[in-house]
């Protein structure tokens, strides 16, 4: 984990959302959401297209302000100790190693440490052999592995992943899922969105089911899939709920 200044070596988690909502053009797209995300379990936010998964993740990560309610990490400046991976990776027009180095430089890290962390992150995600390759010439799967490397290089305490395999084939999906499990093993809290039930079962410890901007259920993964409580979750699991 990245060392915090002063005596602040407390965790940034839990993250607490209180009465969070997001409204646009008089329509309520999210909320009210009340949610506490603790360190530990791999949390999957599951829901159909348009349910509000991306909105919720962006609000948690801090790049979107809710129109009402509060989002509180457990310590100040927590934003530095968490990261996000997007469905379509946003990479710089530089080579693989330079893309990782860039985020470390933003954290004012010294060159020696940056180099070590870059090597470590490339190894973790299996892209060492691509270190001098330009990001734009990578395949979709390689780009997403670079996005994971970059998000993990800062050793975040929490990582948000918004449908990180949505554009990938089964092999690349499998690779990315394994990296996500490794990142979790390294001590990073995983909060990941997906509309893919099988993926949720592979990755989740707990499931948060989102529908039309509301959290309808939160349960340990087995319980959710064996015994969903809401009608909407039952329909979704039967493939009958096609949009949010």
Ligand X SMILES: Nc1ncnc2c1ncn2[C@@H]1O[C@H](COP(=O)(O)OP(=O)(O)OP(=O)(O)O)[C@@H](O)[C@H]1O
Q: Catalog residues that contact Mg ion under the rule CB under 5 A.
A: 53-54
**Closer to Mg ion at the Cβ: 157 or 162?**
162
Instruction: Return the residues of window 28-57 that contact ligand X according to CB under 6 A.
Output: 29, 47, 49-55
Q: Smallest distance, Å, CB 26 to ligand X? A: 11
Residue 22 or 224: which CB sits closer to ligand X?
22
- Smallest distance, Å, CB 39 to ligand X? 24
Place of tokens 């319980």: 223
Which of 31, 109 has the CB closer to ligand X?
31
Residue 114 contacts which entry, ligand X, Mg ion, none (Cβ below 5-8 A, type-dependent): none
In angstroms, what is the minimal distance from the CB of 44 to ligand X?
13
Residues 151-180 that bind ligand X (CB under 6 A): 163
Detail the DSSP E strand segments found in the chain: 15-24, 27-37, 43-46, 68-72, 82-85, 158-162, 189-194, 206-211, 214-220
**CA-closest candidate to residue 163, choices 175, 153, 177, 151:** 177
Q: What track of x and - describes contact with ligand X for positions 186 through 205 (by CB under 6 A)?
A: ---------x----------
Cis-peptide into 221, omega within 30 deg:
no
The candidate with the shortest Cα–Cα distance to 121, out of 99, 89, 160, 153, is 153
Contact 69, 105 (CB under 8 A): no
63 binds ligand X (CB under 6 A): no
Q: How many residues bind ligand X (CB under 6 A)?
A: 13
Tell me the C-alpha distance between 180 and 183, whole Å.
Answer: 5
Q: Is 184 in the site for ligand X (CB under 6 A)?
A: no
Which partner in ligand X, Mg ion, none is near 156 (CB below 5 to 8 A by kind)?
none
Q: How far apart are CA 62 and CA 12, in angstroms?
A: 13
Backbone dihedral region for residue 108 (phi beyond 0: left; psi -120 to 50: alpha; all else: beta): left
Site map (CB under 6 A) of ligand X, residues 202-231, x = contact: ------------------------------
* φ, ψ dihedrals at 146, nearest 5°: -65, -40
| Closer to Mg ion by Cβ: residue 4 or 211 | 211
Work out how close the CB of 66 gets to Mg ion at its nearest, in angstroms, rounded to a whole number.
17
Residue written as tokens 């310590």? 75
Instruction: List interacting residues with ligand X (CB under 6 A).
Output: 24, 29, 47, 49-55, 163, 195, 244
């Amino acid at each position: 984990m990245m060392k915090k200044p002063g005596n602040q070596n407390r965790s940034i988690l839990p993250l607490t959302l209180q009465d969070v909502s997001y409204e646009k053009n008089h329509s309520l797209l999210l909320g009210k959401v009340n949610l506490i995300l603790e360190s530990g379990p791999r949390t999957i936010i599951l829901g159909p297209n348009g349910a509000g998964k991306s909105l919720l993740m962006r609000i948690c990560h801090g790049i979107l302000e809710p129109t009402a309610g509060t989002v509180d990490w457990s310590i100040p400046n927590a934003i530095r100790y968490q990261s996000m991976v997007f469905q379509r990776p946003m990479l710089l027009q530089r080579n693989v190693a330079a893309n990782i180095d860039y985020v470390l430089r933003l954290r004012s890290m010294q060159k020696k440490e940056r180099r070590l962390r870059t090597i470590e992150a490339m190894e973790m995600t299996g892209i060492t052999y691509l270190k001098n390759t330009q990001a734009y010439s990578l395949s979709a799967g390689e780009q997403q592995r670079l996005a994971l490397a970059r998000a993990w290089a800062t050793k975040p305490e929490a990582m948000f992943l918004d449908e990180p395999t949505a554009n990938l084939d089964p092999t690349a999906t499998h690779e990315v899922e394994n990296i996500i499990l490794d990142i979790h093993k390294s001590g990073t809290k995983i909060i990941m969105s997906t509309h893919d039930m099988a993926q949720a079962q592979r990755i989740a410890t707990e499931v948060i089911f989102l529908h039309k901007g509301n959290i309808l259920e939160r349960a340990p993964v087995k319980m959710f899939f064996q015994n969903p409580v809401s009608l909407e979750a039952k329909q979704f699991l039967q493939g009958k709920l096609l949009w949010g």
